[in-house]
Amino acid sequence: MYTPNYDLTGRFVGVQLDGQYIPNDLNNSDYRQFVNWLAEQNLTVDAWLAANPYVPPVVDPKATAINELSARMPANTRVSDDLLEALVVKGVLALTDLPQAAQDKYAQRQALRAAAH
């Protein structure tokens, strides 16, 4: 059975048949065979696509947070954050002792880390 292939913007780019991708290209004999199959079913490509609409991928917020955190935070930043947290917990340092920009970055990383767990 044919299934539609869409890009991430929802644009139809081809069909899938038995795990094989067939591009949306009338110069492609497999795609012409698909169009002929539709005609045998009394369907146009547009009618078939209307019955098989684009479904956006499900976004996993946890995976997104992990990826964003990994991209933004090298390993040494994690060590610095852990050290900062230990100093704050022990009362040696208050977050408000840090410049506002540092407080904001730390808060962003903490929020991403919380979303990832």
8 touches 14 (CB < 8 A): no
34 touches 22 (CB < 8 A): yes
pLDDT digits (tens, 9 = 90+) for 17-33: 999 999 999 999 999 99
Cα of first residue to Cα of last residue in the chain, in angstroms, is 40
| pTM of the predicted model as reported, rounded to 2 decimal places | 0.51
Helix (H/G/I), strand (E/B), else coil: 52: coil
pLDDT at 75: 67
In a 13 Å sphere around the CA of 89, the CA atoms on its Cβ side amount to 6
pLDDT digits (tens, 9 = 90+) for 45-76: 999 999 999 998 888 888 888 787 777 767 66
Kindly report the average pLDDT of the chain as a whole number.
89
Closest CA to 23 of 42, 47, 5: 5
